[in-house]
Amino acid sequence: MKLYNTLSRKKDTFKGKKRVNLFTCGPTVYWFAHIGNFRTYFFEDILKRVLLYNGYTVKHVMNITDVGHLTSDADTGEDKLEKGAKRENKTVWEVADFYTKHFRNDLKSLNIKEPTVWVKATDTIKEQIDLIKILEKKGFTYQIEDGVYFDTSKLKNYGVLWGNKKPIELKAGARVEAILGKKNITDFALWKLTAPGVKRQMEWDSPWGKGFPGWHTECVAMSIKNLGIPFDIHCGGIDHIPIHHTNEIAQAQGAYGKMMANYWMHGEFLNIEGSKISKSIGNVVTVDNLIEKGFNPISLRYLFLTAHYRSKLDFTWVSLKASQNGLQSLGEKILRLLEGQTTKISAKSKSLPVYQKKFLDFINDDLNMPKALALMWQAINDPTLPNKEKYSLILDMDKIFGLNLDKIRKIKIPKEIISLDKERENARQEKNWPEADRLRGELQKLGYLIEDTTNGPKLKKL
Ligand code: AMP
Ligand code: ZN
């Protein structure tokens, strides 16, 4: 298996033990996750499915950020959870609970497998304080009025994820809201102190004073607690490269002298109708919005499959409609397969192992879903593949795609419906149109539609 590793900036052969330890940065539960966020969770789901397909077992840990994620990456601004609580006039805990549940429902709608372990930032405060204590002991921290900070100048190789490109937002002279007393522009908060006069719902005692942890500290404590160090793969969206993951690496390096994870993988962003997804633009789309507009959320999975996870993807309603159509026609082809309407070659086909090998090559080549999906279409339209083999090949491929193709069933039509349909057909033969129409209406009332197809009229369940 080859996976693109942001750390080495190339496709590396994956060398993991039988059990793979995977950490994926999870949602900040102050609002609904949008379809951009889900593009990243989808890519991670594909990664997990490909690992499983290759015979690995996966211990997947995902965090729930329920404190400490500020509205600005420069350690300023409000805590998103406290902001959410004010907006909804609820407690922070209620807000976190509501959006966590909603997030898990959305995962289900998109057929994204749940992690093995969920871990909340607020359940790991002790481990976070312990981590900061180690960093303090090793001389990587300093305290200012605002909180405890990591001194990035003390670390020899800070910023290994960047390659030779320093992120624009961290270049000297970049416009940032500076925090008084911060020594270097790249220094980041480990523990923020509750500001005098501010009433926070979430705060904890610490050796440095009452406050709350920094977002980057949370993920280090949560991942290492559950997966040890180093663990195999750490994932997130590309926006995590310049700051969040860079600062996670810095802390693990400082505290334990080790690289935190062996492979770092990042998914490209989803735009909507050509624009960055943003509340201020007002173009945020959620899974609920798709359902409200009559879309099957799985068609979003199909759309995501059409682009490589390291390429930008632009979501449009037109492209979603095309994906829904693609999914539908896939379903119809499978139905026809089940009904045995296509070729009935009984001998074992020679092309089956070729498809299987190609499929494995594509998915193991840094999760090349567009090629794998095109191969599925090629297989489904291949007249030399016998039905049974074709069907099991498609279901096998769907272990990766997750399009729920195994749920497509030949419908069992009750006897009385079949006899009503026969009566209607007789009426039609006798050119008794009023009677044929009456029976068609009767069938419709019972939930069956008669569709005119090239092979004559066909019963379909509504
Ligand atoms: P957040 O809740 O903001 O921490 O984001 C959750 C995940 O979604 C992170 O892994 C982000 O990198 C990712 N993400 C945010 N916006 C997008 C987007 N437009 N496209 C793809 N992934 C995104
Ligand atoms: Zn994280």
pLDDT digits (tens, 9 = 90+) for 127-145: 999 999 999 999 999 999 9
Distance CA 405, CA 385 (A): 18
Q: What's the average model confidence in pLDDT over 245-258? A: 97
pLDDT-derived band at 417 (thresholds 50, 70, 90) equals confident
- pLDDT, average across residues 297-317: 98
pLDDT, tens only, 137-194: 999 999 999 999 999 999 999 999 998 777 776 665 555 556 778 899 999 999 999 9
Ligand 1 site residues, Cβ closer than 6 angstroms: 25, 27-28, 36-37, 39-40, 236-237, 239-240, 267, 269-270, 277
What percentage of the chain carries pLDDT values higher than 90? 73
Q: Give the Cα separation of 27 and 29 in Å (integer).
A: 6
Amino acid, res. 74: A
Question: Tokens in use for 233?
Answer: 């793969």
Task: Please say whether the beta carbons of 259 and 249 come within 8 A.
Answer: yes
Question: Bigger pLDDT: 37 or 279?
Answer: 37
pLDDT digits (tens, 9 = 90+) for 76-128: 777 888 888 888 888 889 999 999 999 999 999 999 999 999 999 999 999 99
Q: What is the pLDDT of residue 349?
A: 74
pTM for the full model?
Answer: 0.89
CA distance 398 to 177: 48
Q: Among the ranges 8-17, 275-284, 452-461, which has the highest mean pLDDT value?
A: 8-17
Taking the chain, what is the end-to-end CA distance rounded to the nearest angstrom? Answer: 44
Angstrom distances, CA of residue 363 to CA of 150, 266, 305: 40, 17, 11
- Taking the CA of 23 as reference, the closest ligand is 2
Cα of 71 from ligand 1 centre, angstroms: 14
**pLDDT (0 to 100) of residue 181:** 86
Amino acid 201: pLDDT: 85
- Average pLDDT over the chain, rounded to whole? 91
- Per-residue pLDDT at 257 exceeds 90: yes
Return the pLDDT at 348: 66
Residue nearest to atom 23 of ligand 1 (CA): 37
Residue nearest atom 21 of ligand 1, based on CA coordinates: 269
Say what the pLDDT of residue 176 is.
Answer: 56
**Which of 288-292, 378-382, 420-424 has the lowest average pLDDT?**
420-424
Helices 387-401 and 317-338: crossing angle in degrees, nearest 10, is 150
CB neighbour list of residue 8: distance below 8 Å, 6 or more residues apart: none
Banded pLDDT at 447 (limits 50, 70, 90): confident
Sequence-distant (≥ 6) Cβ neighbours of residue 314 within 8 angstroms = 270, 271, 272, 273, 274
Name the pLDDT band for 410 (thresholds 50, 70, 90). Answer: confident
Separation between Cα atoms, residue 48 and residue 188, nearest integer Å: 31
Q: Is the pLDDT of residue 43 over 90?
A: yes
Ligand 1 atom showing the smallest separation from residue 24 Cα: 10
Q: Report yes or no: 62 and 118 within 8 Å, Cβ to Cβ.
A: yes
Q: What is the pLDDT of residue 341?
A: 61
Distance of CA 36 from the midpoint of ligand 1 (Å)? 6
Pocket test for ligand 1, best of 24, 29, 40 (most atoms within 8 A of CB): 40
> Cβ contacts of residue 241 below 8 Å, gap of 6+?
6, 161, 162, 167, 266
User: What are the pLDDT digits (tens) for 344-368?
Assistant: 555 567 899 999 999 999 999 999 9
How far apart are the CA of 161 and the centre of ligand 2, in A?
A: 15
